[in-house]
Structure 1
């Protein structure tokens, strides 16, 4: 880990407007509208030097990304956006195995830039609208038994600590595994280096009505049937849909039938009954990785928009018991549920990653906009899932506090010490972090 108190200049269009940072009066909501930020000032620094000065001088501050979190995790007395410091150019390493990008870049924009270089990421989340820094900081993920979450691709990063220092860290450095999924608690991340690979193509198919009995008997085979597999269910009589995303440079993919599920005769939306126009093409036509791995296209509102989300990652070995527990809760869950998605994520070594040291299954819930009712339901849902080893997704709604969650992270105490060392004055701490992460 390397510190640089003098900073320098950032890439992209830093300073493009030729003015210094001025805090603007701001009152905003998150993307889905279920959370209103307490912050009343939003800073827009134009350069790295301005950001360093701002951070060092502000008592309490946190970075605001694409606002896709469903809780107070990014909130503070004041917020900072890196929009004016974010350009779409990528710096490709000479060996073409990594690229370095501005942290505020969104994945859809990054995919376009990588296409110009004939490069690809190993995976993408269900929607490309989210920022790289925000997704990495919360261990956001796609799907695939061999695919780590998006933070798993990080090979290096730069961040501004609360003293205004620019700190650089790379894989292999001390504390690097604790800095990647940093939850915004360590500083403002400005640049990220990501592993890339040669561009590839994917075919996407959807299979309707997978029997529960077939899934329980063949769970590993179903989720391993292609490069990326997602299952969607309303927790009714069967699994409504299985979305299968197969690389064209890999082995044969399922066609026609999948353990009793039949190939769909048209496009589908993950939420039954919604127009599938915003979704990525599903009728087996090959397309770029970036046009098939997400469920939603960049130019449209993803998912439903009017929603709340929760998600829990469990050891993959506990997938069937967890799903059986969900089905028992079905009558309680279904009135609030828009869809439940089942995905798999490969293990990693990042301290606060929800897939740390364990291959995982993720149970994702898209709820209707009924905050109080959802929170009441989460009491029963967590009572069923937490004993099976569940770790809540950091950017989504959950109830379990730090005392409950800390033992699930072997390096939790190391992470708390890292927070205290890089942010000794507590500039990046907030009530959410104290309750759900740093407390014990």
Structure 2
């Protein structure tokens, strides 16, 4: 196989071949005939979670086939479709998703499988919108499961590719809405930490960008639904931060050309909820990422830990983002059973130094029951992760039932989930 790497370039896939079927029947044939197979999304994973010792299967050549059911308030879409394509199609028909991740370039099935999220105190991760899934199981059979009819459905959504190839997804939708995005610079940490719950509840989606050094948060990005009122109209100050006078990139000094429109200019949800525009590649990929999610009651204490580690973190860091995510009931979701915050780190492409630092960060965050994002870089393995996921034994049993031949297993799953 010609060398294929992930988006960041830090992982070379070790599969023997990549298949790109154009029809559902071809997907079933590939899965049925392979000894080992794993689905490959948009390759925006920073670890080996989407790799295989056998065949990788990409759904990028399957037609999006976006079908809206306005009466049921759902949309059905091919799993390999990107959120950017889906969002534009939905908005044209007057509908919306509840949230988007920072990048609209990621695939629907891949983002759901890893519990990728946007932001907002009341907004669950992207997987919480899943109403039904269509999977190709290890024998090449087609399995359709739904929230309404499948007892183990909550265990199948954030599946990490361990249960089958998700070929189609049905998502909850709502009427389209508009969003304005306001940015404030240099918020004093003292003010933010004293009233963190107020800060995070100030808009539909709130992101804080920092390098952990100094006395101020670099930027606060506030995404507000205009149907909830223009709360930031003409506001010059936000918890001690000053209103930005030009569009911002999360990295100071970098052009905001590829970022979604700011300065309080209203626009469709499909062009505001993500941080970056679909028509632009957000960066060259010269970065690594990690993220840890923990209960909201530990937010301030965990932030203080990260600030205390600034001397070790900041030299390797491009930028960090703090976001909030609502609780859910999805077995392997980092927000299973608890609302909380995500501490996201975008690293410089210095893999060895980053990998050496992760154990220290995880040890310092361990008292807060921090769960790593499945698609990012982290150090913990199954023995450490198992106590954090009370439904992990049930997931292992579900995987054994759906994939008795271990066809979808890979090194990542053995290391972090199954403990092999």
* Category of TM-score, reference length = shorter chain: over 0.9
Query: What is the SS of the residue equivalent to 2:22?
Result: coil
Which residue in 1 is equivalent to 2:244?
264
Segments of 4+ in structure 1 off by > 6 A?
none
1:276 aligns with 2:256: yes
What is the aligned residue count? 415
1:387 to partner: Cα distance? 1.8
Q: 1:385 aligns with which of 326, 348, 365?
A: 365
Which residue in 1 is equivalent to 2:22?
46
How far apart are the structure 2 equivalents of 1:395 and 1:104?
17
Which residue in 2 is equivalent to 1:221?
198
Q: 2:87 aligns with which of 87, 98, 111?
A: 111
How far apart are the structure 2 equivalents of 1:26 and 1:196?
40
Which residue in 1 is equivalent to 2:219?
241
1:68 to partner: Cα distance? 0.1
**Alignment of structure 1 residues 3-82 onto 2, 5 Å:** 25-76=1-52, 77-82=54-59
1:35 to partner: Cα distance? 0.9
Q: 1:318 aligns with which of 278, 292, 298?
A: 298
Q: 2:179 aligns with which of 202, 226, 245?
A: 202
How far apart are the structure 2 equivalents of 1:284 and 1:118?
22
Query: What is the SS of the residue equivalent to 1:274?
Result: coil
Which residue in 2 is equivalent to 1:374?
354
For structure 1, which runs of at least 5 residues remain unmatched after alignment?
A: 1-24
How far apart are the structure 2 equivalents of 1:51 and 1:257?
54
Which residue in 2 is equivalent to 1:329?
309
How far apart are the structure 1 equivalents of 2:60 and 2:248?
34
1:253 to partner: Cα distance? 2.1
Which residue in 2 is equivalent to 1:181?
158
Q: Is the 8 A contact 1:204 1:285 kept in 2?
A: yes
Q: 1:94 to 1:270 in 2, by over 3 A?
A: closer
TM-score, reference length from structure 1? 0.93
Q: 1:286 to 1:94 in 2, by over 3 A?
A: closer
How far apart are the structure 2 equivalents of 1:312 and 1:405?
12
Query: What is the SS of the residue equivalent to 2:276?
Result: coil
1:26 to partner: Cα distance? 3.2
Which residue in 2 is equivalent to 1:191?
168
How far apart are the structure 1 equivalents of 2:197 and 2:116?
22
Q: Is the 8 A contact 1:27 1:40 kept in 2?
A: no
1:304 to partner: Cα distance? 5.5
Q: 2:342 aligns with which of 352, 359, 362?
A: 362
Which residue in 1 is equivalent to 2:104?
128
1:243 to partner: Cα distance? 0.2
How far apart are the structure 2 equivalents of 1:285 and 1:334?
33
Which residue in 2 is equivalent to 1:396?
376
How far apart are the structure 1 equivalents of 2:209 and 2:179?
20
Q: Is the 8 A contact 1:178 1:415 kept in 2?
A: yes
Which residue in 1 is equivalent to 2:113?
137
Q: 1:424 aligns with which of 380, 395, 404?
A: 404
Query: What is the SS of the residue equivalent to 1:437?
Result: helix
Which residue in 1 is equivalent to 2:134?
158
How far apart are the structure 2 equivalents of 1:203 and 1:309?
27
TM-score, reference length from structure 2? 0.97
Which residue in 2 is equivalent to 1:170?
146
Q: Is the 8 A contact 1:27 1:39 kept in 2?
A: no
State the Cα deviation string for residues 168-198 of structure 1 (Å, max 9, x = none).
Answer: 1100321100000000000000000000000
Q: 1:412 aligns with which of 392, 402, 406?
A: 392
Which residue in 1 is equivalent to 2:231?
253
1:151 to partner: Cα distance? 0.1
Q: Is the 8 A contact 1:230 1:243 kept in 2?
A: yes
How far apart are the structure 1 equivalents of 2:9 and 2:71?
43
1:226 to partner: Cα distance? 0.4
Which residue in 2 is equivalent to 1:295?
275
